[in-house]
Amino acid sequence: MKKRLSAVCAGLLLTAALAGCAGAGEPRHAAVDKARRDAEDKKVTLKLVQFKIEITDKVKQMAADYSKEHPNVTLEAEVSFDSATLLKTRFASGDEPDVFMVQSFTDIADWSERLADLGREPWMEKVAPSAVPGMTAKGRKFGFPVAFEGYGFVYNKDLFRKAGIEQVPVTLTELKQANEKLKAAGILSYNEAYNIWWVLGQHLFNLPFAYEKDALGMIDKLYKGERKVTDVAAMNGFFDVLDMTVKFGKGEEAVGVTYDSQLFDFATGKTAMMQQGVWTINSIMKINPNLNMGMFAIPLTDNPDDTKLPVGVPGYYVINKNSKHMEESKKFLEWLHQNGQKYLVDSFKLYPAFTDLKPSQELGPLASDLSAYIENNKTLPWIHPLWPSGANREFALPLQKYVGGLYSREQTLKEVQDIWEARAKR
């Protein structure tokens, strides 16, 4: 498990030998032209799998545009909420995608034996430096970063103003006071989607680990058995915040709340906050394009200097090294970078992880707040990619039991520790 801590140009060389393949008396240049025409006429189907369901329609449109610009290529895009399971099924059945999306660190390491090295692709030199470690395994670079993303509490500015909250909370005490003011004004603070494993077991639970002064050092010690999850300094702050989302939200019913329900209630003004990130902007705008909103970092302590926004790369496009269409797959990623401003930024509304792509003002208020945290160096790392593979999904189970009133903090952390140790041995 310790391994998680750690421009190719191709063309067809047509020589005089090709003349031997020509028909008797056929001019050499005619054979060359025929070979080129055959290559151009060859129909190729590229299969793409990714997990960002909130931009499904945008991805489908991008695929259609690519196919239109490249008549010999049909780009089939499949977007799945549970792409990890889909990928395992596809590879097991032999229906392997050519290009697919994985998360950083752990997924890159887990899939590395099946991935093409992209380190010499022409766009790689334009990748933002902080996006490189997450795509790197065994000294090689395997990924095309889709974006930088950040998450925290997305909030309704009008509801905050109605409750008399003049500034976003930057300490645990201020967060509790803000919730009390919302309650006094008859406003529900949250409707958290704790039915979804990554909302609870990955994003929210990432926070106490990311708050560590030496987060990587703590992770290393957890793997070595020199520390336990109970030693994570901000763990009590995490549970305090979790308790608030339950007390000032839907209570124990939160374990049944879905992602769609969470977004709908927030977008329609039924709740003042939700723990989500910049990726929700498209879904929110479809429901309520006039919502006055922002995003702030979730405090776990009473020291405002500790309060920072988790920022990372949610996923990387990678290429199946056994793809029968390797060059076409590489051409697609090169095209996507060349057209990144149009698709990654303007259409997908993502914060670019390439230095030659610029964030757009049209990305909306969530991206604007993300930019402010980045510019002011008030960011935290995404630590969950360094957890044992598959642990994030399993962590959600004891945390859901805690939300449902079945577990105490101590019972929850004991089960989390057991999951960590079991997964780390695999």
pLDDT band for position 30 (50/70/90)? low
Find all residues with CB under 8 Å of 6, minimum gap 6, and list them: 137
Max mean pLDDT range (10-19, 76-85, 255-264): 255-264
Q: What is the pLDDT of residue 41?
A: 59
Q: What is the CATH number of domain 149-312+366-424?
A: 3.40.190.10
Q: What is the pLDDT of residue 415?
A: 98
The CATH superfamily of 43-148+313-356 is Periplasmic binding protein-like II (3.40.190.10)
Question: What does the pLDDT average to over 34-49?
Answer: 72
Query: Do residues 207 and 300 make contact, with C-beta atoms less than 8 angstroms apart?
Result: yes
Query: What does the longest C-alpha to C-alpha distance in the chain come to?
Result: 92
Average pLDDT taken over every residue of the chain = 89
pTM attached to this predicted model: 0.76
pLDDT greater than 90 at residue 27? no
pLDDT greater than 50 at residue 259? yes
Domain boundaries, the chain: 43-148+313-356, 149-312+366-424
Q: Is 149-312+366-424 in the same CATH topology as 43-148+313-356? A: yes
Higher pLDDT, 426 or 294: 294
Q: What is the pLDDT of residue 90?
A: 94
Higher pLDDT, 57 or 103: 57
